[in-house]
Chains A and B, each alone.
Chain A
């Protein structure tokens, strides 16, 4: 049976600690980039700090982790890639990025309404000797390609290998947990198979207060968010420019916290 892996992120639980960002980078051999800025960095998982725009005691802030939304329908990056370097895996629903095919044209970055793709500007480099600390399950990527969240696909491979070794066809859900989900200290990120109605994440995705970013453009993201705060939910439809060119720009993002 095909799966539809996705996440439900409870924003009322996110404290903006950034553990998910570090765990993601460590798991996927994303290099530290001392020369990078917020514009040129490589953050497949990025936590944004946003506010309601008010000042003084009325001010409220929240944290929104942004990664590839793994769009189900009319996946924008797949449609524009001239190299077929992006595809939606029919068995898992994960939007896969294949760096070997990528030419670095960055059409996909332009097309992504969520700004969840990053161009690799530099050769992957670690201080001398630190390559020993790299995750052996993930190959490092060359400069000149686009990178993004692939839901820790190496962990899915490991889970499949473990299931195959045990003579099973289906993986144990406990064996496939992305690094960000595992790292979240408050359990704000719930991961699972959205196609399985009994999966806790699937149930959570149908609970009150759940929303998806830019739902109106119809890309059917598989990353859901949840908040009881109305102003936070309103950010989901935040746009820049005409609605026909909708893209996620969180206008109220706070620079540095």
Chain B
């Protein structure tokens, strides 16, 4: 067909013109871009994408209960659930700092390895069966209860339960064990001793990870940041003796690389120089190891050991800190005059208890009950029936019974003084998260067997009343209030429940006297630890993947592979 001389036949030219017009039209029309944008938004709002809880947001102050050091925390709550954790600046020891695990602790209660049912030899059982088995065991022989954080209200419940039934044991942290030698030399239980780091001018760490979560992470880290970090002539000299360039060694004022396991020999060598050159006024036993012998063992030269001794003596008060129980390093402190002196080892409490270590052989017992605060890598050497409380599953093969315990901030607990603190403190960590009905604390479990036991709530109340009657120390929150000015026990409890911390009065350092007649026999040095290896739970907060897998910052701890 022809129309006014033109054909309607579609030519190649027409197709090209039409295509070019369409392309030009697409460029100016908003439709495809709008569709693309909508598709993008739509595809990012799938119904299975997790949605945060909505509700009133509030901040509660408390104490971290992951380890015995009880750092102060601010818990941000939304709709009744914890959604974030930050450090509490007003806390007297942690001073606003937390370890990395603390920042992700609020997610631990939902960890896939959360223990939610009673397990008996890897089979699901019930609380009733566990109770029956434990009661039967109690009637047949002595019971041992092993605690990870002594001094709490729960610990008091354990000790009361054990009267006439068995013995109480404690698994101590490596920091607490490092204070053990002074117990024998002074008669003061190690639980009543601490380091007066705030007044020290030189700190010699023999492998202790002082900048990697040692004791209360905030205490030394803040001190180092204020008095040493980035300074050419720091007010606080940190000397790190360690075989490898650890995080602490990398930031120390001086790193002394020694052969692995020769810290004891170096302590003896330094003590010998201090005594021979009369660099210290204190007196102590001369170590049997010669300077040449110390040099041969440590891989250092005799001159460098002499230089180290002179460095330590040049800025006093000086104190040596061991990574674990090491009598030679404790003896070095005696030579330095650091035991019972300002800036050294001090007695922080008039009253303290000597605990039996859980590492000691357990006598014939019918049952062993392990509290949830005991690290999973501690397995008692016993033939007794083991009842193990835990919030997270660390391996069914480590106990006959696995009993689900409250998780992070799911129960009321009190927080006594941190193991290495120089001053006494007392805080309360209320249960801000509702625990499920599936879990029971060991204290609740024991109370269901012995109805005469006092509840932890009552013990905490009694302890508050006892503090109030003492009228000493201060109550530290945003302000510092002398306890004598607190109107009533109720007011004191109210403040403690809101995150305030009671801080005791410092004792005079001279109240600690150590006697050491001869240099202690050499003991093998323990490998240095870090916060991940010292942490009690078998699992880390889920966000720890950022440190261990999604970066090259840290190597995954061995226990995670178990």
Query: Which residues from chain A contact B221 at a C-beta distance below 8 Å?
Result: 15, 17, 185-186
Taking A12-B229, A101-B37 as contacts, is the C-beta distance between A22 and B100 under 8 angstroms?
A: yes
Q: Is the CB of A130 within 8 A of B546?
A: no
A56 to chain B, nearest CB (A): 8
Q: Mark A168-210, 1 if CB is under 8 A from B, else 0.
A: 0000000000010011011110000000000000000000000
Taking A26-B85, A135-B84 as contacts, is the C-beta distance between A186 and B229 under 8 angstroms?
A: yes
Q: Is the CB of A26 within 8 A of B551?
A: no
Q: Mark A42-60, 1 if CB is under 8 A from B, else 0.
A: 1100111100000011011
Q: Mark B300-312, 1 if CB is under 8 A from A, else 0.
A: 0000000000000
Taking A16-B247, A124-B49, A228-B232 as contacts, is the C-beta distance between A46 and B551 under 8 angstroms?
A: yes
B534 within 8 A of A: no
A76 within 8 A of B: no
Q: Is the CB of B552 within 8 A of A26?
A: no
A257 within 8 A of B: yes
The CA-CA distance from A34 to B541 in the complex, in Å, is 11
Name B249's closest neighbour in chain A (CB-CB).
Answer: A61
Q: Mark A100-113, 1 if CB is under 8 A from B, else 0.
A: 11110000000000
Query: Which residues from chain A contact B361 at a C-beta distance below 8 Å?
Result: none
B244 to chain A, nearest CB (A): 10
A37 within 8 A of B: yes
A63 to chain B, nearest CB (A): 8
Q: Is the CB of B50 within 8 A of A131?
A: yes
Query: Which residues from chain B contact A125 at a C-beta distance below 8 Å?
Result: 50
B98 within 8 A of A: yes
Q: Is the CB of B549 within 8 A of A185?
A: no
A129 within 8 A of B: yes
Query: Which residues from chain B contact A135 at a C-beta distance below 8 Å?
Result: 52, 76, 78, 83-84
Name B542's closest neighbour in chain A (CB-CB).
Answer: A32
Query: Which residues from chain B contact A124 at a C-beta distance below 8 Å?
Result: 49-50
Query: Which residues from chain B contact A21 at a C-beta distance below 8 Å?
Result: 100, 546-547, 551, 553
The CA-CA distance from A183 to B438 in the complex, in Å, is 34
Q: Mark B87-106, 1 if CB is under 8 A from A, else 0.
A: 10000000011111101101
A142 to chain B, nearest CB (A): 4
How many chain B residues touch A (CB < 8 A): the figure is 73
Taking A141-B44, A186-B221 as contacts, is the C-beta distance between A17 and B213 under 8 angstroms?
A: yes
A98 to chain B, nearest CB (A): 10
Q: Is the CB of A142 within 8 A of B542?
A: no
B230 within 8 A of A: yes
A97 to chain B, nearest CB (A): 13
Candidates B50, B79, B112, B553; contact of A49 at CB < 8 Å: B553
Q: Is the CB of B542 within 8 A of A127?
A: yes
Report B263-322 residues with CB < 8 Å from chain A CB.
none
Q: Is the CB of B52 within 8 A of A23?
A: no
The CA-CA distance from A61 to B427 in the complex, in Å, is 38
Q: Mark A11-29, 1 if CB is under 8 A from B, else 0.
A: 0110111110111011101
Name A253's closest neighbour in chain B (CB-CB).
Answer: B552
Q: Is the CB of A138 within 8 A of B52?
A: yes
Query: Which residues from chain B contact A137 at a C-beta distance below 8 Å?
Result: 52
Q: Is the CB of B554 within 8 A of A256?
A: yes
Q: Is the CB of A142 within 8 A of B49?
A: yes
Q: Is the CB of B104 within 8 A of A22?
A: yes
Candidates A22, A42, A43, A129; contact of B541 at CB < 8 Å: A22
Q: Mark B41-76, 1 if CB is under 8 A from A, else 0.
A: 101111011111111010000000000000000001
Report B11-65 residues with CB < 8 Å from chain A CB.
36-37, 40-41, 43-46, 48-55, 57
Residue pairs across A and B with Cβ atoms less than 8 A apart, 15 shown, are A17-B100, A22-B100, A23-B103, A25-B104, A30-B543, A30-B546, A36-B550, A41-B546, A132-B79, A133-B82, A134-B52, A135-B84, A142-B44, A227-B230, A256-B555
Not counting A10-B229, A32-B544, a sample of 15 additional A-B residue pairs whose C-beta atoms are within 8 angstroms of each other reads A17-B100, A18-B546, A18-B551, A18-B554, A19-B99, A22-B541, A49-B553, A103-B40, A133-B106, A134-B83, A137-B52, A138-B52, A142-B46, A185-B217, A186-B229
Closest 3 CB pairs of A and B: A41-B550, A185-B97, A12-B230
